[in-house]
């Protein structure tokens, strides 16, 4: 073997080695990124399961004294997160009531006007709204509702802030879904003499329902865990409150309160575990709908 | 008016409503920050003082602007090798099968974890680790927040990258292979130059996310109103400052915080706009 082939041979080996190192490093780093998910789930489950019992779902959050006494006696902290669960249901429900109809109508508008200057502007604005930091929407909810409308912190203000937050994802998923429906479907209905609005309401929207539903659920899961905007709007409450013009609690707000109160630390894990399972559940069901219930023509 | 017309108006009016919401947000922030702007002018952007003491109240945004940029850019740097690996893994190396779909689900679920839960985990798991390594006395600070932010933005940084990498034409890759290139060389010389701007756009959008993130940062950054002196120092971002102080703020402090909100809004707007612009050029 002469020298030149020996050198090229060594070079070849080097290149192959480099390739191998790169591939393995990539696989390693890719899977390492997923590790935090399991660490978080593990930590919440291990520390939180002790508090998960019936009263956790049906009783209001304990105050500091009750918790302190329970911890001193080495008992499970009494009470639960019922005020947070009810608050989250009300705030998120109201936000959905505001955002879902507007979002679907706007998404339909964008899908029906693919070209057009105004539609382009709306599309751009929806994109920009998607990027607005949640804390800024909290400030907006405070200035729009807390000060002038409800004269104090309120569930309504929280709902308004969160509804702006979930709008873009509903608009975009509606638009994207409706765009994929073949034009022949619409043309067939129109050619039978069905008026335009009935074509949209009875043919186009029902056909795209699964995609729209996926967007709605993803939108809900995006806002259900939001804490920052609620700190400036709904504030929090120690009791169950069904009046939307009064301050209200929410599960993420309770997590924040427990975090700030050393006596209630044991409650953090169960409340977070509940919140996390709720949101991951919503995420997974959105995915399942998207996969199983695909648009059929 | 017949129902046909009403329906069409309804569709258009929803678009008008979007425009009104956006204009309303901008106008509200502008009007809210007028008193602060009158008091401090453009000096607000460059002043490093945040002093709520009555009588000599003085507010400046610079420490928080710097804090925000420092945490989010550092987060982006930390996230890069991970996000790029995921993009390559899903977009080029393993496109179908159980393993990639598992990884895809895990990454999606990472995006679903609430910010406050990330903050908790950072506080109880990451902060002690940072303190143990001796990087900083208590473990709070810009670096700790950046690490948590890096994990939080992995899904956003990697998903667009995976998409553009999977769209690199097969003929280009095959041409390189036929010349004897190894897979690594194909990635370096064909995929990265081809998909580079799309991958970059994904990182810009992820940066926009990191800039606006509030809860996790509030719980970990240490909430100091002084100018940060390094990446292991304590600090505050614009978002964490608002979260901490807006509740009890009145008078000048209240409008100063709204002005901070306006600056945050403008910065995220610009960053997102750049990201979208790159994406638009790509699809054109």
A285-297, pLDDT tens digit by residue? 988 888 876 655 5
Residue A4: the pLDDT is: 73
Contact of A167 with chain B, judged by CB distance below 8 Å, is answered with yes
Mean pLDDT, to the nearest integer, of A180-199?
91
A122 and B19 Cβ atoms separated by less than 8 Å: yes
Residues of B in contact with A121 (CB under 8 A): 19
Once rounded to an integer, what is the mean pLDDT over residues A186-205? Answer: 91
Q: Indicate which of B114, B204, B213, B241 best probes the interface with A, i.e. most A CBs within 10 Å of its own CB.
A: B114
Percentage of the residues of chain B whose pLDDT score is greater than 70: 99
Mean pLDDT lowest among A107-116, A225-234, A285-294, B23-32: A285-294
- Which carries the bigger pLDDT value, residue B136 or residue A210? A210
Cβ neighbors of B45 (< 8 A, separation 6 or more) are: B60, B61, B62, B65, B263
Residue A6 has a pLDDT of 79
The shortest CB-CB distance from B116 to any of A44, A143, A252 is to A252
Q: State the smallest CA–CA distance between residue A21 and chain B in angstroms.
A: 9
Give the phi and the psi of residue A236 in degrees, each rounded to 5: 125, 160
Contact predicate A163/A95, CB 8 Å: yes
**In this predicted structure, what is the pLDDT of residue A295?**
56
Q: Which residue among B28, B125, B151 places its CB closest to the CB of A140? A: B28
Give alpha helix (H) positions in B89-140.
98-112, 115-121, 127-132
Instruction: Look up the pTM and report it.
Output: 0.94
Terminal C-alpha separation, chain A: 67
Mean pLDDT throughout B168-196? 94
pLDDT of residue A54: 85
Give residues 83 to 112 of A whose Cβ lies within 8 Å of B.
102, 105-106, 108-110, 112
Nearest CB to B19; choose among A108, A121, A200: A121
What ipTM was reported for this prediction?
A: 0.93
Which tens digits make up the pLDDT trace of A93-152? 999 999 999 999 999 999 999 889 999 999 999 999 999 999 999 999 999 999 999 999
> Distance between CA atoms of B275 and B198, rounded to whole angstroms?
9
Q: Is the pLDDT of residue A268 over 70?
A: yes
pLDDT of residue B77: 97
**List of residues 6+ apart from A95 with CB closer than 8 A:** A158, A159, A160, A162, A163, A165, A166, A223
User: Of A67-71, A217-221, B110-114, B145-149, which range is least confident?
Assistant: A67-71
A174 close to B (CB below 8 A): no
- Find the helix or strand (DSSP H, E) in which B69 lies: helix B62-88
Per-residue confidence (pLDDT) for residue B284, from 0 to 100? 65
| Residues of A in Cβ contact (< 8 Å) with B118 | 40
Distance of CA A178 to the CA centre of its chain: 22
Q: Do A138 and B108 touch (CB under 8 A)?
A: no
Average pLDDT, chain B: 93
Handedness of CA B157, B117, A246, B238 (dihedral sign): negative
- Which two structure tokens, joined as six digits, stand for A25? 């490093």
pLDDT higher than threshold 70 for residue B136? yes
Higher-confidence residue: A128 or B284?
Answer: A128
Average pLDDT over residues B23-35: 96
Question: How far separated are the first and last CA of chain B, in Å rounded?
Answer: 41
The distance of B114 to chain A (nearest Cα, Å) reads: 5
Say what the pLDDT of residue A224 is.
Answer: 95
Within a 10 A sphere around the Cβ of B31, how many other Cβ atoms? 12
Question: How far does the CA of residue B233 sit from the closest CA of chain A (Å)?
Answer: 22
Q: What is the pLDDT of residues B225-283, one digit of tens each?
A: 999 998 899 999 999 999 999 988 888 999 999 999 999 999 999 999 999 999 888 87
- Mean pLDDT (chain A, rounded): 91
Determine contact: B266 vs chain A, CB below 8 A: no
Q: What is the per-residue pLDDT for B54?
A: 81
Q: In this predicted structure, what is the pLDDT of residue A36? A: 95
Q: What are B59's strand-pairing partners? A: B50
**And the tokens for B120?**
């908790």
Selecting from B83, B93, B116 the residue whose C-beta is nearest the C-beta of A256 gives: B116
Please tell me if residue B277 touches chain A, with a CB cutoff of 8 Å: no
pLDDT of res. B116: 95
A262 touches chain B (CB under 8 A): no
pLDDT, residue A2, reads 66
Task: List pLDDT tens digits, range B53-98.
Answer: 888 889 999 999 999 999 999 999 999 999 999 999 999 999 888 9
What would the pLDDT profile of B185-210 be if each residue is shown by its tens digit?
999 999 999 999 999 999 999 999 99
- Residue B1, pLDDT score: 60
What angle, 0 to 180 degrees and rounded to 10, lies between the N-to-C axes of helices B98-112 and A35-48? 60
């Amino acid at each position: 073997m002469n020298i030149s082939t020996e050198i090229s041979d060594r070079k070849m080996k080097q290149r192959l080695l480099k390739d191998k190192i790169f591939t393995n490093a990539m696989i390693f780093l890719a899977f390492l990124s997923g590790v935090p998910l399991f660490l978080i789930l593990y930590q919440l489950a291990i520390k939180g399961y002790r508090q998960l019992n019936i009263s956790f779902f049906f009783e209001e959050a304990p105050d500091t004294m009750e918790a302190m006494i329970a911890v001193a006696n080495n008992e499970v902290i009494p009470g639960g997160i019922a005020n947070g669960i009810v608050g989250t249901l009300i705030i998120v429900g109201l936000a959905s009531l505001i955002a879902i109809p507007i979002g679907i109508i706007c998404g339909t508008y964008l899908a029906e006007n693919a070209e057009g200057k105004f539609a382009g502007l709306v599309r751009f604005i929806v994109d920009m709204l998607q990027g607005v930091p949640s804390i800024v929407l909290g400030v907006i909810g405070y200035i729009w509702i807390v000060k002038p409308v409800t004269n104090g912190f309120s569930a309504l203000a929280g709902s308004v802030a969160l509804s702006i937050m979930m709008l873009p994802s509903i608009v975009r998923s509606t638009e994207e879904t409706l765009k994929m429906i073949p034009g022949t479907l619409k043309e067939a209905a129109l050619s039978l003499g069905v008026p335009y609005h009935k074509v949209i309401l009875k043919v186009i929207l029902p056909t795209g329902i699964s995609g729209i539903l996926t967007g709605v659920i993803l939108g809900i899961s995006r806002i259900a865990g939001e804490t920052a905007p609620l700190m400036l709007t709904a504030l929090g409450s120690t009791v169950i409150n069904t009046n939307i013009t009064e301050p209200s609690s929410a599960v993420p707000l309770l997590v924040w309160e427990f975090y700030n109160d050393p006596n209630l630390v044991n409650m953090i894990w169960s409340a977070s575990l509940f919140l996390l399972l709720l949101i991951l559940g919503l995420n997974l069901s959105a995915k399942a709908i998207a996969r199983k219930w695909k648009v059929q023509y | 008016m017949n129902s046909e017309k009403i329906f069409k108006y309804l569709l258009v009016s929803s678009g008008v409503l979007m425009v009104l919401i956006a204009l309303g947000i901008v106008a509200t922030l502008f009007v809210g920050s007028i008193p602060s702007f009158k008091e401090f002018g453009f000096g607000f952007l460059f002043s490093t003082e945040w002093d709520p003491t009555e009588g000599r109240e003085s507010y400046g945004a610079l420490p928080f602007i710097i804090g925000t940029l420092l945490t989010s850019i550092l987060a982006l740097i930390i996230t890069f090798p991970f996000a790029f690996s995921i993009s390559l893994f899903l977009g080029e190396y393993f496109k179908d099968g159980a393993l990639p779909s598992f990884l895809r689900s895990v990454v999606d679920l990472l995006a679903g974890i609430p910010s406050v839960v990330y903050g908790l985990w950072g506080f109880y798991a990451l902060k002690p680790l940072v303190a143990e390594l001796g990087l900083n006395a208590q473990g709070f600070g810009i670096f700790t927040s950046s690490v948590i932010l890096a994990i939080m933005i992995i899904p956003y940084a990697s998903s667009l990258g995976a998409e553009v990498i999977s769209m690199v034409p097969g003929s280009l890759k095959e041409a390189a292979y036929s010349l004897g290139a190894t897979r690594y060389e194909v990635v370096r010389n064909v995929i990265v130059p081809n998909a580079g701007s799309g991958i970059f756009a994904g990182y810009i959008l992820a940066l926009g996310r990191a800039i606006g993130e509030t809860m996790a940062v509030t719980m970990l950054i240490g909430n100091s109103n002084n100018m940060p002196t390094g990446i292991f120092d304590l600090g505050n971002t614009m978002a964490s400052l608002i979260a901490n102080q807006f509740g009890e703020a009145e008078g000048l402090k209240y409008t100063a915080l709204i002005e901070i909100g306006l600056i945050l809004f403008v910065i995220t707007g610009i960053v997102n706009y750049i990201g979208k612009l790159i994406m638009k050029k790509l699809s054109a």
